[in-house]
Amino acid sequence: MRKLIEPMKDLSLISEDMELPFPLYEYKNRLNKIRKKMEEKGIDTLYLTLPENVYYVSGLKLIWYRANSSPVWNDTKITGAAIHVNSDKFMIFDCVDEEGAVYGSTCCTDPRIKNDIPQDVMMGEARECPGPGEDFMDLVVKDLYNEGWLKGVVALEMGSYRPPRTVSEIFQAKLEAKGAKIVDGTDIVLDIRTIKSPLEINCIEKAAHIADIGHKAIRDNLHEGMTELELVAEYTSAMMRAGGESMSLVDMCRFGTGKYWWVHSPAGRKKLIRNNPVAVDLCGVYNRYHADQVRAYSLGEPPNEIAESYTMAGKIMKQVAKIIKPNLSIDDFYDEITRFIKEEGAWDEQYWLGGYELGISFPPDWVGNFVYDPYIDSNGARFEPGMVVNFETGFGIVDTLVFTEKEARILGTTPWELQIVDPDSPLAE
């Protein structure tokens, strides 16, 4: 029997309040799943750089990942986590800047904090720093080599946006110079993350409740003369007061018929006038797990085409609620939905009729790895227990679907009817 990862004995000296979002056995299970997948693929060492994957295995969450910062800091753009197929422990490599977060908010028992400048003492403490002709990358490679983790096959997340190609090629060359055979390991953790544990689903359920609170704030605060940005402030404030966190995509709030379908346009200073439709795409966020909800509103009676489109969206969601179940094949799902829309006489009127995986995300994206729509070859894929996806009706409503062993549910309680706010009510003035 292997032991669970033990928290660091001196953790209380680093942080008064450990922020690890899950119990240690959850992280141990995740690490074992990753190591099993590595063994199946013949990978000895996996080096993670995608923030979501590092968070998944360790609990580390940061604001700044140096993703698009100055080339001066290129050598530190490879900070991440290293996993070996035969080790119960993993390493986190990071700079002094993140020492508190690494020690105080992760389950890593083998953190490797380095100075990224040639100064061996910083903040009153001596740490390893680059020597002449070295940089932060060299320190990481040296540690991996000394641990024997560069023997055999080393997988890098080549599909991750960090580090950029100009950096990853240098890192790869340094690893190869020490004898490592480099392969792509982008999909290893991404594929594992597609199936959520019950604890992860619980976080997404909480996130959906927070999304409901955001939409209630929209209904309660919509009034003539407010700007799109002011409405963003209202629902964001409400969700954060309820315990929510920053969304990975922000400010998707649009006023007016002209902007209604500018689905990825940010909120601006446009003011709300009577009979304007309002479209808002937001996610509730809890422990970085996202639950998506898109709804529309109108200050007074909306244009007929908006009202009709939204009515169709509500009908589709009711049909989705009837047919979803665990292990439903995606092909069967679309057979039913396509037939229903055609019978309603609305086929070819829809926008995108698809969805994608939801779960852990950091800016700048909450769209997950798994994507489905009628035109993507499903390869026989099913909505397996543990999957969480959004579904976009193509007519203005988006919701989050969760599949468990026993049931499939649409999360959230925000109505599917177009919410019309009376412009002459006291709250709307």
Per residue in 43-86, pLDDT (tens digit) is 999 999 999 999 999 999 999 999 999 999 999 999 999 999 99
In this structure, the answer to whether residues 148 and 242 fall within a common structural domain is no
Residue spans of the chain under pLDDT 50: 1-16
Q: CA 49, CA 53: separation in Å to the nearest integer?
A: 7
Q: CA 236, CA 283: separation in Å to the nearest integer?
A: 10
Please state, in angstroms and as integers, the Cα–Cα distance from residue 188 to each residue in 90, 106, 156, 385, 388, following that order: 16, 21, 10, 19, 18
Final residue before a domain boundary, out of 193, 211, 234? 193
In this structure, the answer to whether residues 300 and 413 fall within a common structural domain is yes
Q: CA 278, CA 81: separation in Å to the nearest integer?
A: 43
The reported pLDDT for the residue numbered 1 is: 33
Residue 6 falls within a domain, yes or no? no
Residue 2 falls within a domain, yes or no? no
Residue 39 falls within a domain, yes or no? yes
DSSP, collapsed to helix, strand or coil, labels residue 62 as coil
The reported pLDDT for the residue numbered 187 is: 98
Residue 57: give its domain's CATH number.
3.40.350.10
Per residue in 35-54, pLDDT (tens digit) is 999 999 999 999 999 999 99
In this structure, the answer to whether residues 273 and 215 fall within a common structural domain is yes
CB 202 within 8 A of CB 289: no
The reported pLDDT for the residue numbered 8 is: 37
Residue 4 falls within a domain, yes or no? no
DSSP, collapsed to helix, strand or coil, labels residue 154 as strand
DSSP-derived secondary structure letter, 234: H
Please work out, in degrees rounded to the nearest 5, the angle formed at the alpha carbon of residue 133 by the alpha carbons of 130 and 138.
Answer: 50
Residue 153 falls within a domain, yes or no? yes
For residue 298, report the phi and psi dihedrals to the nearest 5 degrees: -150, 135
Q: Which two tokens stand for residue 315?
A: 């009908």
List helix spans (H) across 195-264: 198-221, 228-241
- The kind and range of the H/E element at 293 are strand 289-299
Q: Which two tokens stand for residue 402?
A: 């969760």
Specify the number of domains making up the chain.
Answer: 2
Model confidence, pTM: 0.93
Range of the domain at 321: 198-428
In this structure, the answer to whether residues 317 and 217 fall within a common structural domain is yes
